[in-house]
Amino acid sequence: MEGGGDSKEGKARLRQGMAEFLRKVVSQKKPGWKVVVCGSRNDAHDAFLNANQTWPEAFNVLLVDSEGPVSRPPSTHLKQRDGWNLAGASEESIHLMIQVMETWIIADPDAVATYYDQHFIEKALPRAANLEGVEKERIYKALKHATAKTQKGEYHEIDHAAALLEKIDPAKVRRRCPSCDRLFIILTQRTEAS
């Protein structure tokens, strides 16, 4: 998956946060699954292609931000936006956090409010039933405004995303972010079949 910045510590924290978020829904049977955090979206793309070559028997998943609105299948979106050739990869192995990971985070405003505690401005967060139509700039501005006066300070992906992912309720995220629901449906089907 994309994210975590350039440091090993940032990637390790995000890996832990995303793993906990996924574990709330997707069972961890033997041989199990693991989250690999790669930093940049291009590094995530390269790692995904490498994993498909190195472990073709595994179900490898690419998870990146869409960085904008999505109206086509994930592979087509990434080919048009990034020029990525994902031919040979199944569509069910390509997933987008639409439009950014923070969209998934704000889908559970109660958990975000609990994390930031005093002086958090929940009404600053978008209230759309389907958050995937909300532009990424609006998501970032809303989080910045909502968290600016909290004791933890303004939202920062490296400092806060992992802890927030551990706290948010997947059911709430799935209701407001169809891309998250798609990811959980496919991962659940794959883990239950193995």
Determine the pLDDT at residue 51.
Answer: 96
Nearest to 110 by CA among 60, 168, 162: 168
Tell me phi and psi for residue 141, to 5 degrees. Answer: -65, -40
Nearest to 36 by CA among 68, 99, 27, 52: 52
**186 vs 113: CA distance, rounded Å:** 30
Count of beta carbons in the 10 Å neighbourhood of residue 75: 19
- Residue range 74-85: average pLDDT? 97
* pLDDT tops 70 at residue 31: no
Confidence label for 29 from pLDDT (cuts 50, 70 and 90): low
Return mean pLDDT, the chain.
Answer: 95
**184 vs 170: CA distance, rounded Å:** 9
* pLDDT tops 90 at residue 87: no
**57 vs 97: CA distance, rounded Å:** 25
C-beta separation of 147 from 120 below 8 A: yes
| pLDDT digit string, tens, across residues 160-190 | 999 999 999 999 999 999 999 999 999 999 8
Percent of the chain at pLDDT exceeding 70: 98
Q: What is the pTM of this model?
A: 0.94
| pLDDT digit string, tens, across residues 92-140 | 999 999 999 999 999 999 999 999 999 999 999 999 999 999 999 999 9
